[in-house]
Amino acid sequence: MVLDILFVLAVSAALMSNFFGVPGNILIAVNSLIYGIITNFDSFSLTFVLTLFIIMILVEFLEYLLIALTAKKYGASKWGITGGIIGGIGGAISGTFFTPVLGAIIGSILGVFFGAIIFEYFRSFDFRMAVKSGIGAFLGKIGGLSLKTCGAVTMIIMIGYKIF
């Protein structure tokens, strides 16, 4: 019972880590594998854990795809898309130093926006197009974060159903 509670706490923390730019879905899948190994896969099977890994990979892929497609729809080039992704990661990391929770979230979102603008501007020197690309990357990040959170909640519900 104590192990179950610790596992649920770890998975809940992993869900929240998605907002800090940390790949929380990966942590959910890895924690599930560790829990399965420790419990000899009594609560759920190895196939179940592999299903969680597949969901995690799919959601992570779709998050970055959504950022890229939305930015592209708003006119971003490969430079703008790359800048958005790099900016999001850098913003999450640097924002964590200011305020661990809110700073990482805001840093990630602003990093996507400004990263796309900066990279797109250096490619085209068209500020209007660069800002439009930044808006697209920003909207893609919001959508990707929403998708990632839905994936994490789905994984947690599946785990909860198996354990309890």
**What domain range is 108 assigned to?**
2-163
Q: What is the dihedral of CA 12, 14, 20, 23, to 10 degrees?
A: -150
More confident: 117 or 13: 117
CA dihedral sign of residues 43, 48, 50, 54: negative
Phi, psi of 42 (to 5 degrees): -75, -45
| Three-state DSSP state, 99 | coil
* Cα–chain center distance at 81: 16
The overall average pLDDT reported for the chain is 82
> Is 70 exceeded by the pLDDT of residue 112?
yes
pTM score, two decimals?
Answer: 0.75
Number of domains in the chain: 1
pLDDT of residue 66: 87
The pLDDT confidence band at residue 16, using thresholds 50, 70 and 90, is confident
| Mean pLDDT along residues 13-25 | 70
